[in-house]
């Protein structure tokens, strides 16, 4: 969690902190954090929004590094 977000969370009431904490735990336990929440648009298109009652959690999702190994390059008529 970013320092600013942690600071914001500590300023909230305990029940709201608990609700947001439960949401964050749920997000962390998912194999695909995009299965819940909503993608943002515009200049925040690389961020996701999650709802916790009246509160919103804005997050950046950093996917695992995907490696593509190129074995061979052929014309499509010869590739299959």
Segment 23-80, tens digit of pLDDT: 888 888 888 888 998 998 998 898 888 888 888 888 888 876 444 445 344 545 554 2
Give the closest residue to 12 by CA, choosing from 23, 1, 21. 21
Between 19 and 70, the more confident residue is: 19
Q: Where are the alpha helices (DSSP H) in the chain?
A: 3-10, 14-29, 76-79
d(CA 53, CA 56): 8
Q: What is the total residue count of the chain?
A: 80
């Amino acid at each position: 969690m970013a320092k600013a977000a942690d600071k914001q969370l500590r300023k909230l009431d305990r029940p709201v902190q608990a609700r947001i904490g439960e949401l964050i735990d749920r997000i962390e336990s998912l194999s695909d954090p995009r299965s819940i929440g909503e993608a943002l648009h515009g200049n925040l298109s690389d961020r996701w929004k999650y709802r916790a009652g009246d509160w919103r959690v804005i997050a950046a999702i950093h996917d695992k590094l995907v490696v593509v190994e190129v074995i061979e390059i052929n014309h499509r008529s010869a590739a299959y």
